Each structure stands twice: as structure tokens, then as C-alpha cells.
Structure 1
Amino acid sequence: MKLSQVLSHTNQVERSKFINCIDKLCQDNKDDSDLSQQLDRIDGQLKSASGNEINQLFHLVQNHFKKHLQEQIALGGPQVSLLLNILARDGNSIATIHWVESLYAKEYQKIADLSHTLVLELEEEESGDIDRLSRLRTYRDCMAVAFNNDLKSNRTAKITEDERTILNVLAERLGLSREEVFSIEHSIDPIPEHGIDSSLELLREHGAIFINRRRSEVMAADEVVEIFHEIMGKEIHDKYALRILRSLSDAELSNILKFHGHKTRGISRQDKIATIAHSGLSIRSILANDLHAENTTQNQKKDRIKILIEEMDLDIQRIGSRLQDRIDVLLDFLKKNEEDEFNALSVSGYKELLESLSQATSNVESRIRSDFEIENKETLDPEHLKSLSITPLDILYLYSNDEIKTIRNDMGLPRKGNPRTQIIESFASANDRLIENYHLLASRDLQGLANAGIDIKESDIGVKFEEVTRSILEQLGLNVDEDLRKDINTAKDKADIIVSLENDDVIIGEAKSFKNGQFAKYASTSRQVKAYVKRCEVNGHRVAQVLIIAPEFSSDFIDAADMDTDINISLLEATGLQKILAAFKQRRNPNFSPKLLTKGGLLKADLISKSI
């Protein structure tokens, strides 16, 4: 979840520690001209600043924030580092405290067991892989010196931030996994088994996480998680590393395991991938060295990376001539492509993909929960998955290449080309058809929809109209806030759409499909939206506008909306929203502002389209 969204989902008390941290960094770095200008705009009153202003300040002090976190994590000790490793994993950025505790207990036991095994191996000089043991021993000796150095000066033994930075580089150069690093540290400076509350509070105190006490929930903003990765030396998200591993051959997976002292005989492909993925190996080291056979030449390694890029169907034009250039291009593409992956499918398209996979395979939910470590009580709807930064393509990569080809074939898609790309495009084109025939959904024209090749039950048209309306608003660049909508909605009052604006303002949207003629039910619609407005205001949000979308409005409805003094209402015909989206897509650099929807009365789509 983006920082701006986290701020809109937390109250003043819950975000106070983060704001205090940003405030201190601002005061300490007033010589930064950009930062100083932004502080002047809010007159130095950071505690009363809007979520958008806080977000802008954070991005200005981001490098200082990273330095601050590095210092505090080093002081926090191994338990804080292990917690950071858990919270930085895909799917764990939003989780209940109870779930984080269970993940910590599981991780602790794994580290403790491996630590015991490594100590025994290092004490037996003649056993195992001598080269691997030599690397492990070198790292252990360096860590022991770093930890015990303070004792010479009669200070408490600990590893400082500077020492940690050097040890991270050493671990990377020696080709050690994050799991091995934690295990060696555990043998020197034991990680506490229980009591993570104090470590969570330390992370909260220094702005790394937010804690929602009402829901007993830990939240780490996406931007802060990226900083976690930088501190840990993690170049890409685990989910991207997993995509690369699933594109490698069995022999290549075995090469990686052998290099790090793991067994390969009798181990299934899935277990090989899981072992490599969970051990926290450097993906750069895997691509540059580990996956290749011992006598592989530099040219052969370069060719393999080129083939890998082609096999993953990545749209990369220039891959470079050197091995490291090709690895850089591959990793940079994966890091920068997440937003495009989300935009490939609307929320409704994402939902249909999940439903289709559930019909094709019985275990899609268990795969998602297992791979992304999501608590059983959490829903797996597109909105929640999106807040965890899990894209539709991430879901498809939960399946092996053979499984995904079978799913593609069962869907009746062409057998040539990349199956994952074909599946995504099939749902994207289905959503495009719905947008093209949006006016038919609005007027509940079942025959017209059937003639357009859209198979839908009449009972589902209302829900589908809401979903497609949200999709259109998203494509216009608006922040359709599904998490906030869930927070505000009750069993009785259920708003169709919430659009988050700056300064905790919102637009409430209501999508009304109607079969016969003009929509005229103002009294009932007014009662509905006023209840939603009240719910928003109780939750600390100001309603800037209510937007009602329908096929057409009667003159009585338009007059009643104009005369309503309790709330500001804008009306927009479905065909008008289609026109606005069409104009938006035709512009090379469209300029659409949500203020265009807040003018009040019946909106003139033609004028809005010209102003984009």
C-alpha cells in the first residue's frame, strides 16, 4: 500500500511517530532548498499538514530517512533485523500483529536449526564442501570480530551500522544466502525467541511501520519497504526472483543448490525452487555465477541471460553487451514494470481472472496464501491483493510453466506465444469490450450485450456496471480507494465508489443502471448518498462531491439535485463518461483533474472532453 493510502487509513495518533520522525529529519536538514520550500508552504506546521503534504516531504527526505533507519536497525539488534526481513517480504507489508508473531516464530525456528547445523559443519574440518565451509568460516570470523570489538573498549558488544554495511558486502561477495547470514549471527549474538512487541514498537517509534491498534494491524508503506530492501541489499522483490527461478531448467536449479551446499538428488523441481527462494540468495549472484555449470564461458553466460529475457517475454529493446549489463537491464525492467502490470487489468478483470483460475484449479487460494504468507482470515479479493502489491501476473507465476500452458489451452487461447501474456490479454480485452458497451450496461440492454458477444446474467448487470465504472475512473487516473470504501461501508449502507483526493477529501460515486427511460428516483437516491456522506464524515473525511452516474436523468431529478442544499451533487450520463475516457486515451499527455467532476448539476461531457 502506497504511503499516501496508509496515511489516509490511519488517524493522527497512529501516524504521530512517523510525522515526528519526518519533522526531526526536516529540522536537521534545513539547508536542503527543496525541503525548505516545501516546509514554507505548510508554514512549518507538519502536524497539521495534509496526507499529500506529508507524502511530498517524505520523498524529499527519503535518503535521510534511509540513513536514519540504518542506524536504528543496527542499534535494535538481530531481532529487529529478522523482523525487517519478514515485513519486507511480498504479502507481509500489511498483517495483524498475531500473524507477524507466528511468522517470526516460524522464521526463528528455521534460523536456530540451520545455525546448529552450520556450527557442527564448521567444527568438522573434513566434512562437506570445503570451499563452502571456508566461505562460511571467513564470514563467521569477521562477524565475531565485529561483534566483540566493543568489549576491548569496555562497551556492550554489538554490530554497528558501519560494520553491518561491510558485512553485507562481504556476504554478497562470498555468495552467502540471507538465511546463512542470520544463522551465523545467531551463533554469535543469539536472536531472542520471544517478545517481538518491543522490536515492533522500536520500528514504529522511528517511522518504519504504522500500527493500527483498533485492528491490531502492522502496516509498512511500499516506499518504506523499498528502503528495507536497500538496507538489506535486496535488489528485487522475492516475487520477481521467483519468476526468474521458474524460468530456469532443472539442471540450472541443481547448480544453484550444489553451490550452496544443498542436496539435489530426489528433490522435486518445486522443492528446489522453494528452497532457493526462501534462503534469500542474491539474485545477481545466481544470474552471474550460480546457475551456470562450472566450465561455462563468459559468452555462454551472456547468451543464457539473453535467452532468459526472451523466455520471460520481457519487452526489452537493448540488452547490452556485457554480462553485468544484461543482468542490470533484466533486474531494472522487473523493478520498474510493476505499475504497468497493475494497469494491465482493471479490478473487475483481476477479479474475473481469479474466478477463472479457481474454476481451472482447486488450489489457487492456498497457493496465494502459501507463497505470499497471507493470514487465513484475510480476504483474497483484488483490492486487498493490490494493497499488498500482488499483481495479476504475480498470480500466474504461482503456476509452473507446464501448468500455465494447460490453463491457457483449457481457456481455448492460441497455443503459440507466452501463455501468461495471452491469459492477461484475454481478460484485458474482455474488460475493453465491457467499456466499449458501457452504455448498454447502464441501460441494462441484455440483448444488445449479447449481440456484442458479452455473456452476462441480468441479475449481474448492476454489479458489473459498478465494477466497470470503477475501472473507467481508474483509467482516468483517479484514486479509486477500495480499502477506504470497505472501512466506510456497513451492512446497511454500501457506497458504490469512493475516490480519494488530497487532504483527506473524497468523492462519493453512485452508479445507477436503469432499464426503462430516464432515471427519476431522486428521493431514494438522496437518502442513500446522504447516509454515505455521514459515514465518511464520521471517519474523518470531507466529502467534496457526490457523483451520480446513470444512463439518463429526468428533468425532475436534475432540478431536485440542483436544489438540494445538504450535499453537492454532480450528475453524469454513462455515454458522457465513455466520451471523457475516449478523449483521455486519444491525448498524448492528457490533463484530467477530479475537479472537473465537482462542478455540480448535470455535467457537460463534451466540454470536459475538450478540456482534457
Structure 2
Amino acid sequence: MKLNQVLASLNQIEKSKFINCLDKLCSSVERGDERLTERLDKMNRQIKDASGSEITQLFHVIKPHYKEFVREQLEMSGASLALMLNILTRDGNSIARVAWLEQLYSREREATEHLAQNIKALLADNGEHDDFGKEHRLKIFKDCFEVAFTNDLRVNREAKISDDERTILNQLAKHLKISRDEVIAVEHLFEPVRAEANTVDDCLQTLREMGLVFINRKRSEVLIADELVALLNELQGKTLADKHMLRVLRCFSDAELSNILKAYGKRIRGVSRVEKIHTIQQSGIDIRSILATDLFDNDEGLNKRKERLKQLMDDLDMDVDRLGTTLDDRINILIHELQGASEREFVALSASGYKEMFDTLETNFEGVSPDGKSESLTQRIRREFELEDIEDINTERLRALSITPHDVLYLLSNDEVKRVRDVLKLSKRGNPRALVLEAFASANDKLIENFALLACRDLAGLKQAGIDIAESDIGSKFEEAAKTILEELDLNIDEELRKSINTAKDKADIIISISDDDVIIGEAKTFKNGDFAKYSTTSRQVKAYAKRCENQGRRVAQVLIIAPTFSKDFIESAEMDTEVNISLLTADGLKQIHNAYTTKRKPNFSPKLFTKGGLLKAELIAKNL
């Protein structure tokens, strides 16, 4: 979830620690920073009274200073806090109940303790090593870690690993082929991760004081914004999110996966492909090391390595402007594309297309868990992203956790996704995941093409157009198609704000953010016979939504009602309403604007065109794009 969305979902007390951190930093580092001074002046220097959007903009300006502040604080923290951060920054854990985090912490600590004892026993049993094998390399790293850790004791200070020492140790681990989980286990031998009952709560309070996490007391829920996860990953030296690492691993052959495991002294005999991928992920092996050396046989030449990376980009359906001339160039381009993938992927498939894909996969997917039991898509998602059993799994929740349609498809093995492709009767040529995504994008395009039929609830016309739909689903499909059209007009559909203002009784259809604080409330209405005439009911709904938006610090610039056509009385009532500004747009009109927008080479569309009020002239808007 983006920082702006997190701030919008919390009260003033729950976000106060983060705001206080920014306030103190601004006071200490403003001198000489013109951008920061300009941003503070725009807010009248009232940080504590600023809106979520203003705070988010301030964060992006002060981020380099905040990052240094966090680095200094983490350097003084112990192994328990590091373990907690490792859990919070993993995919799927950005929103989690405190009780669930306690379970994950306990599980992670036990795994670390087990690996640490294995390493201790391995080094004790084998004594001296001179063959530079796995045991020898581990001993070198452990001895170096011990020196770094105990150096402080010589000058009568508490034993700690400083940031400078950790940087050196990380480089040492990289060259000795010591995986991240082994590094953590070695550290555990010298500074054990705490196991006390209140450890997680202490860690969370420390992180909250640093502004890194937010705690919703009412739901006993911890939230960490995407921007803060990215910042922590940089500090931890984590190049790629686990979900993106999984995509890369899915593209490797069994032999290539074995090469990676061999490089780090991991077992490969009698290990299945699924287990190989899981071991590499759990070990935390650096993606740059994998792509530069670990993937390949020792005698593989530079040109073959570069060609393999080019093939990998093709396998991942990357549309890059340049391939890069050197091996490092290609690695950097590949990583950069994956780091920025989430934003593009949410746009590539609409919210309604994502939901339809998820529902179809849930119905048609039959997977197998690591213990050999049958597994549904929901169970696979829970296991892979460490989601709590009591949590409802739906596309809204997945979007809040920044899990894209592509991420879901890459949870399926190559064989599993091919079976889904065959069930959906798609072509066997090309990337099966891309084919599945295209199928649902095409299905959504068909709804948009027949938008007017949806608006009029013309069931016969829809079936004739090849759209098999239940009459009870027409309203929701019309709403989803309207939302998709507005997204394709490059408008900012704010799902998190919509979700936060909705109640069990009243649910807004669409919220469009048009500036930092201004929004348009959209309402999509289908009607079977004649002109839409239910003004009193509709106006009561949208006024309730407007009030809830304003309670969250957002100004409702306009209400946009979309329907097949409007009665004369409806139009007059909307024009005379003094409580809210209402614009009316017919379904045909919205489709006309969309058609004009998609055919223009450089369309010029502004959401302010929807704020004119009254019945909008779609022909004129389309003509002037």
C-alpha cells in the first residue's frame, strides 16, 4: 500500500510518530536544502496539520535524510529488530495483525536457531579445512564475523556490528558464496535473536518511534508503506523482492537451478525443481551474483552469458529500449525493469479484469503443496505470501498488498500455468502467462465495446455480442467497465480511498483523485427501460459518500453520474442542487470520449472536463481531445 493510502486509513494519533520524525528531521536539515524549504513553505510549515498528500510529498523530498536517520538507528539495534524487519519487508506482510507477526517471528527464529546449530556442529566436527570447500568458507566468514563483533569489547564498548563492518562482511559473504540465511545464522551464534514473549511488541514500538511502521490500534494491525519497504530493502542490500526473484527462477532450467545451489554448497541430489526454487529463495542468494556467475557452468564464455540474459528478458516478456552492451549493463536493465514492474502491471490489467482472472483461476486451478496435498489458488497465495488464515483473499486485498496479476500467475509452476492455459482453450504458442493475461484483457475489452448494452441491461444484445453474463451481474460489470474506461483515460482511480469510505450498507462505485486533495466521486447506474430518473435516491447516496470523503480530508470537486440516459427532471434537479456539484454523462458519451482518446496519437484529456456541471457534451469533449 502506498504511503498516501496508509496515511488516509489512519487517525492522527496512529500516524503521529511518523509525522514527528519528519518534523524533527526538517528542523535539523532544512538549512541549505532549497527543495525542502520550498516544500515546507507550501505547507505553511504546519506539518502536523498537513494532508496525507502533502506529507507524502514532503517525505519524497526529505527521503535521503530520513534514510540516513534510519540507517543510524538500525545500526544501534539488535538482531531481534533485524529479524522483525526481514519479516515486515517480505511480500504480503505489509499489512498484518500483531498476533500473526508474533507467529511469523517465532517460526523465523526457530529456523534461524536450527541453521545456526547446524553450522556450529558442522564446523566443530570438521576442524581445520584447507580445500576452500563449504565448511572452510563458512569458518572463514565466522572467524571474521567474530573479530568484527568482539572488536568493540577491546575498547570497553558493547559488542555490535557497525554499518561499515556489515558492509565489509556482506562483501565477504558474497565472494565466499555464503547465503543470506547463513549470514543471519552466524550472527545468531554471537548475538542471539530474543525469544521473550514481549519481543515482537518491543520491536514494533521501536520501529514505530522511527516512523517505519504504523499501528492501527482498533484492528491491532501493523502497516508498512511500499515506499518504506523499498527504503529498507536498499539499506538491507536486498536488490529484488522475493516475488520478482521467483519470476526469474521460474525461467531457469533444472540444470541452471542446480548450478546456483552447487555454488553455495546446497544439496542437489534427489531434490525436485520446486524444492530447488524454494531453497534458493529461502537462502536469500543475491540476484546479481546469480545472473553474473552462479547460473552458468564454469567454462561458459562471456558472450554465451550475455545471450542467456537476452533470452531471459524475452522469457519475462520485457519490452526494453536497449539490451546493454556488457554483462553488467544487461543485469542492471533486467533488475531495473523488475523493480518498476508493479506500477505497470496494475495498469496492464484493469481491476475488473484482475478480479475475473482471479475468480477463473480459483475455479480451474488444481495445485499440489510441498507436502503432496491438493491446493487451491487461495491456499497457494496464503502459503507463498504468508497470509493469515482468517484473512479474506480477494483482489482488493491483493492490490493493497501490492500483489499484481503477474505475481499471482508466477505462483503457479510452469506446468501448472500450462494446464490453466489448456483449460481456457488458449493458443499453445507463446508465453502461457502472457496468454492468460491477454485473455482477460480481451474479455474486458469486449465489455467496453458493448458498454451501451450493459448500461441498458440488454441481456439479449450482450449474448448476441458473445458476452455470457447473468442478469444479476450486469450492474457490477457496468461499474467495472466504467472504471476501466476511466483508467484508460489515464485518470487516477483511488481504490484505497473508496474502500476506506465504504460501509456495509453504502458502497461508492468510483473515486477519482484529480489532485493532492481533490476527488471526483463517480456513480455508475444501469437502467432497463427509458431514461434514468431516480434523482432523490442517487443524490442521497453521493452526498453520503461526499461527506465521508471530506471527513478524511479530501475535497469533493465534483460528482459524476454515468447512466444510459437521463430524464429531464433528473437533469434539472442536478443543475439546481446546491449541496454538491453534479455532472451527468451518458454511457454512449463516455464510450465516445474513450474512442476518441484511444485513437489520438497524443490525446490531451483533463479530469477537469468532468467538472463543468450539468449534462456534459461528450461530442465536444471528444472533438477537443
Structure 1 match to 2:353: 349
Structure 2 match to 1:318: 322
Q: Secondary structure of 2:159's match?
A: coil
- Tell me: CA distance 1:610–1:127, structure 2 relative to 1, closer, same or farther (3 Å): farther
Provide the rounded CA distance (Å) in 2 between the counterparts of 1:367 and 1:520: 47
Q: Secondary structure of 1:377's match?
A: coil
Query: How big is the shift at 1:225?
Result: 0.9
Structure 2 match to 1:236: 240
The answer (yes or no) to whether the contact 2:93–2:387 under 8 Å persists in 1 is yes
Worse-superposed segment, 88-97 or 470-479? 470-479
The one-character-per-residue Cα deviations of 1:161-197 (angstroms, maximum 9, x if unpaired) are: 2222332333223322221111010001111123111
- Tell me: CA distance 1:120–1:586, structure 2 relative to 1, closer, same or farther (3 Å): same
Residue type at the aligned position of 1:197: D
- Tell me: CA distance 1:314–1:502, structure 2 relative to 1, closer, same or farther (3 Å): closer
Residue type at the aligned position of 1:461: I
Matches for 1:302-451 after TM superposition, within 5 Å: 302-362=306-366, 363-451=376-464
The answer (yes or no) to whether the contact 1:443–1:516 under 8 Å persists in 2 is yes
Q: Choose which of 125, 139, 142 in structure 2 pairs with 1:140.
A: 142
Provide the rounded CA distance (Å) in 1 between the counterparts of 2:168 and 2:43: 40
Matches for 1:34-433 after TM superposition, within 5 Å: 34-125=35-126, 130-194=132-196, 195-362=199-366, 363-433=376-446
Query: How big is the shift at 1:271?
Result: 1.1
Q: Secondary structure of 1:271's match?
A: helix
Residue type at the aligned position of 1:463: S
Provide the rounded CA distance (Å) in 1 between the counterparts of 2:98 and 2:2: 20
- Tell me: CA distance 1:610–1:54, structure 2 relative to 1, closer, same or farther (3 Å): farther
The answer (yes or no) to whether the contact 1:259–1:290 under 8 Å persists in 2 is yes
Residue type at the aligned position of 1:294: N
Provide the rounded CA distance (Å) in 1 between the counterparts of 2:410 and 2:187: 33
Provide the rounded CA distance (Å) in 2 between the counterparts of 1:507 and 1:301: 51
Provide the rounded CA distance (Å) in 1 between the counterparts of 2:537 and 2:224: 41
Q: Secondary structure of 1:549's match?
A: strand
Structure 2 match to 1:13: 13
Q: Secondary structure of 2:76's match?
A: helix
TM-score of the two chains, using structure 2 as the length reference: 0.93
The answer (yes or no) to whether the contact 1:384–1:483 under 8 Å persists in 2 is no
Worse-superposed segment, 66-75 or 324-333? 324-333
- Tell me: CA distance 1:419–1:127, structure 2 relative to 1, closer, same or farther (3 Å): farther
Structure 2 match to 1:526: 539
Q: Secondary structure of 1:510's match?
A: strand
Query: How big is the shift at 1:7?
Result: 1.6
Identity %: 55
Residue type at the aligned position of 1:339: E
Matches for 1:538-557 after TM superposition, within 5 Å: 538=551, 541-557=554-570
Provide the rounded CA distance (Å) in 2 between the counterparts of 1:491 and 1:325: 52
- Tell me: CA distance 1:489–1:563, structure 2 relative to 1, closer, same or farther (3 Å): same
The answer (yes or no) to whether the contact 1:51–1:502 under 8 Å persists in 2 is no
Q: Secondary structure of 1:115's match?
A: helix
Provide the rounded CA distance (Å) in 1 between the counterparts of 2:163 and 2:219: 34
Query: How big is the shift at 1:118?
Result: 0.5
Query: How big is the shift at 1:127?
Result: 9.1
The answer (yes or no) to whether the contact 2:8–2:552 under 8 Å persists in 1 is no
Provide the rounded CA distance (Å) in 2 between the counterparts of 1:27 and 1:172: 39
Query: How big is the shift at 1:366?
Result: 0.9
The answer (yes or no) to whether the contact 1:121–1:127 under 8 Å persists in 2 is no
Q: Choose which of 565, 568, 577 in structure 1 pairs with 2:581.
A: 568
Provide the rounded CA distance (Å) in 2 between the counterparts of 1:415 and 1:447: 33
Worse-superposed segment, 478-487 or 199-208? 478-487
Provide the rounded CA distance (Å) in 1 between the counterparts of 2:201 and 2:297: 46
Q: Secondary structure of 1:196's match?
A: helix
Provide the rounded CA distance (Å) in 2 between the counterparts of 1:311 and 1:531: 49
The answer (yes or no) to whether the contact 1:50–1:502 under 8 Å persists in 2 is no
Structure 2 match to 1:33: 34
The answer (yes or no) to whether the contact 2:128–2:136 under 8 Å persists in 1 is no
Matches for 1:594-605 after TM superposition, within 5 Å: 594-605=607-618
Worse-superposed segment, 504-513 or 147-156? 504-513
Query: How big is the shift at 1:465?
Result: 0.7
Worse-superposed segment, 357-366 or 460-469? 357-366
Provide the rounded CA distance (Å) in 1 between the counterparts of 2:233 and 2:163: 16
Q: Secondary structure of 1:61's match?
A: helix
Query: How big is the shift at 1:236?
Result: 1.3
What is the alpha-carbon root mean square deviation over aligned residues?
2.1
Query: How big is the shift at 1:365?
Result: 0.8
Query: How big is the shift at 1:606?
Result: 3.1
Worse-superposed segment, 47-56 or 126-135? 126-135
Query: How big is the shift at 1:105?
Result: 1.1
Query: How big is the shift at 1:603?
Result: 2.1
- Tell me: CA distance 1:341–1:171, structure 2 relative to 1, closer, same or farther (3 Å): same
- Tell me: CA distance 1:24–1:464, structure 2 relative to 1, closer, same or farther (3 Å): same
Structure 2 match to 1:3: 3
- Tell me: CA distance 1:611–1:65, structure 2 relative to 1, closer, same or farther (3 Å): farther
TM-score of the two chains, using structure 1 as the length reference: 0.95
- Tell me: CA distance 1:3–1:533, structure 2 relative to 1, closer, same or farther (3 Å): same
Provide the rounded CA distance (Å) in 1 between the counterparts of 2:205 and 2:516: 27
Provide the rounded CA distance (Å) in 2 between the counterparts of 1:17 and 1:566: 37
Residue type at the aligned position of 2:316: M
The one-character-per-residue Cα deviations of 1:64-85 (angstroms, maximum 9, x if unpaired) are: 1211111111112111111111
Query: How big is the shift at 1:369?
Result: 1.1
Provide the rounded CA distance (Å) in 2 between the counterparts of 1:477 and 1:330: 27
Provide the rounded CA distance (Å) in 1 between the counterparts of 2:102 and 2:514: 35
Provide the rounded CA distance (Å) in 1 between the counterparts of 2:267 and 2:603: 56
Provide the rounded CA distance (Å) in 1 between the counterparts of 2:97 and 2:45: 34
Query: How big is the shift at 1:231?
Result: 0.8
Provide the rounded CA distance (Å) in 2 between the counterparts of 1:574 and 1:520: 15
The answer (yes or no) to whether the contact 1:246–1:400 under 8 Å persists in 2 is yes
The one-character-per-residue Cα deviations of 1:103-129 (angstroms, maximum 9, x if unpaired) are: 111111110100010111122236998
Worse-superposed segment, 300-309 or 249-258? 300-309
Q: Choose which of 597, 615, 619 in structure 2 pairs with 1:584.
A: 597
Query: How big is the shift at 1:539?
Result: 5.1
Query: How big is the shift at 1:344?
Result: 1.3
The one-character-per-residue Cα deviations of 1:382-409 (angstroms, maximum 9, x if unpaired) are: 2221121111111111112122122112
Q: Secondary structure of 2:133's match?
A: helix
Query: How big is the shift at 1:353?
Result: 0.6
Query: How big is the shift at 1:293?
Result: 2.5
The one-character-per-residue Cα deviations of 1:444-463 (angstroms, maximum 9, x if unpaired) are: 12222223221212221011
Q: Choose which of 507, 512, 529 in structure 1 pairs with 2:525.
A: 512
Provide the rounded CA distance (Å) in 2 between the counterparts of 1:13 and 1:340: 34
- Tell me: CA distance 1:29–1:610, structure 2 relative to 1, closer, same or farther (3 Å): farther
- Tell me: CA distance 1:24–1:477, structure 2 relative to 1, closer, same or farther (3 Å): farther
Structure 1's unaligned 5+ residue stretches are none
Provide the rounded CA distance (Å) in 2 between the counterparts of 1:83 and 1:582: 50
Provide the rounded CA distance (Å) in 1 between the counterparts of 2:50 and 2:189: 47
The one-character-per-residue Cα deviations of 1:240-297 (angstroms, maximum 9, x if unpaired) are: 1111111111122122222222222222111111111111110111122222223333
Residue type at the aligned position of 2:69: H
Q: Secondary structure of 1:415's match?
A: coil
Q: Secondary structure of 2:181's match?
A: helix
The one-character-per-residue Cα deviations of 1:567-599 (angstroms, maximum 9, x if unpaired) are: 332222112222232333344454444333233
- Tell me: CA distance 1:209–1:62, structure 2 relative to 1, closer, same or farther (3 Å): same
Worse-superposed segment, 51-60 or 316-325? 316-325
The one-character-per-residue Cα deviations of 1:274-322 (angstroms, maximum 9, x if unpaired) are: 1111111101111222222233333333332233223333223532333
